Structure 1
């Protein structure tokens, strides 16, 4: 059992690090080199600098905690990974392709998981100065104010944000959903989860995401009254929790999921099952 005071400390640390990381990313915007990783995704020197800032702080505060982070910097690789009870999941810049292209839509995401389940999460979008956060015993907030997901029927007014990687990776059901709602893609899965939690959009489907993309955002959606369901290999929503996850054996497997208010999610499931 984690004491409320300890959980509050972890939340304060996560929000501080997300804010500092996002602020550093903003300061470095347009000023650092970009390269391509083996999976053809991009990484910038800013990603590495932001991640090292966060990892250095966590190393000092919690030397026994594990760490799963997007960028394999020397500092990150020297830390314990997923076999600890407490594991931090970090995405220093979610939306790196936007960032590298000069598009100022990105965020910094920091989460802490306890035995495979997120207990605190923070996402900071520095250009709008939006700080989303939640813990397992406090409601989700945006800049300190409570937020809640939208609860309304699926219609053409529904705004669904998605991430699919490449066009070739798009699931067949997206074509059918496009005729029934308004679709957007911000290029940042973490930010889309946060926006769903705040009711800025109705739903988000993220097909090509990994733990660091979604750990903070999924908790923020759930604590805002929403639901988060994995999507299976047959493109069906699975009505069960993502958590706990086996972090000890997690490398970088994809975690397809959908998130939003329960009414929209139920109707989304019916659409997917009808195909």
Structure 2
């Protein structure tokens, strides 16, 4: 089976498994070391994805948020490919009964995203992309919004931590969605003109990084190293990549000046 079709099918299978746990009374949830939420559903979906990848691509390496986090070795990076998995992006939304959550599966070749599938079951949205072949949602090709010809009320999508850690002065309406991938996917769809996530890990952004680029947009980190190519000995479970996605590089550069770390701003005012 083609790797992209495999990723699409597996993302949908994991999404269907998550639906079995959705709004089930008594589902157990806890906090990880970084204070993010993890549920039984995350772990069940992660096991399904990891087992299926290992059976179909035994020579490949897996970096997964729940069961295979941490650092990659030099030897693992020299294998054929690396799969980066977030079984449930938007866990807090999921645990609260909100609809924006999904499964993210991305395959890296030579350290860079080569293909991705991201499935949001309750929204009925399957995003996918392959390098140099465009970005798609449910069979429709995606394009970013032109600042000149886009929606007359463009909006800024971000996370709740943005306003605790940054002073924000973007000239757009703001929407907080609760899913890092969905924030950036809306930029790729041409719905949001700018997206920002303050503390995403590599599994939160790998698929959307490719999707935004293939939709014609710009995506980059803010004050952090570039996540790609992936490197050995980096503890990815402990590494955040504050990330901006925008319709154009010029808009991304302008937005960088409008999202300032609070400590940096307070020091500049002394």
By the TM > 0.5 criterion, same fold?
Answer: yes
User: What CA distance in whole angstroms lies between the structure 2 residues aligned with 1:23 and 1:267?
Assistant: 40
User: What CA distance in whole angstroms lies between the structure 2 residues aligned with 1:145 and 1:248?
Assistant: 39
Match for residue 267 of structure 1 among 254, 260, 266? 254
Equivalence for 1:4: none
Equivalence for 1:5: none
User: Is the aligned partner of 1:161 residue 2:157?
Assistant: yes
Equivalence for 1:211: 202
Equivalence for 1:91: 86
CA RMSD of aligned residues (A): 2.4
8 Å contact kept, 2:201–2:236 = no
User: What CA distance in whole angstroms lies between the structure 1 residues aligned with 2:184 and 2:54?
Assistant: 28
Match for residue 199 of structure 1 among 168, 178, 190? 190
Q: Secondary structure at the match of 2:2?
A: helix
Deviates more, 1:13-22 or 1:218-227: 13-22
Q: Deviations over 1:130-186 (max 9, x none)?
A: 001001131111101111011115998221111253753x212x1x22xx1111110
- 1:11-30 equivalences in 2 (<5 Å): 11-30=4-23
User: Is the aligned partner of 1:255 residue 2:255?
Assistant: no
User: What CA distance in whole angstroms lies between the structure 2 residues aligned with 1:36 and 1:271?
Assistant: 32
Unaligned ranges ≥5, structure 2:
266-270
Match for residue 176 of structure 2 among 181, 185, 208? 185
8 Å contact kept, 1:123–1:194 = no
1:106, distance to aligned residue in structure 2 (A) = 0.5
Runs (4+) of structure 1 exceeding 4 A deviation are 153-156
- Flag the 1:270–1:151 CA change in 2: closer, same or farther, 3 A: farther
- 1:230-241 equivalences in 2 (<5 Å): 230-232=221-223
1:247, distance to aligned residue in structure 2 (A) = 4.8
Unaligned ranges ≥5, structure 1:
1-7
8 Å contact kept, 2:93–2:99 = yes
- Flag the 1:166–1:223 CA change in 2: closer, same or farther, 3 A: closer
User: Is the aligned partner of 1:148 residue 2:134?
Assistant: no
Q: Secondary structure at the match of 2:204?
A: helix
8 Å contact kept, 1:123–1:191 = no
Equivalence for 1:41: 36
Q: Secondary structure at the match of 1:124?
A: strand
Q: Deviations over 1:82-103 (max 9, x none)?
A: 5334110001110001111121
Q: Secondary structure at the match of 1:152?
A: coil
Q: TM-score, normalised by structure 2?
A: 0.85
- Flag the 1:88–1:183 CA change in 2: closer, same or farther, 3 A: same
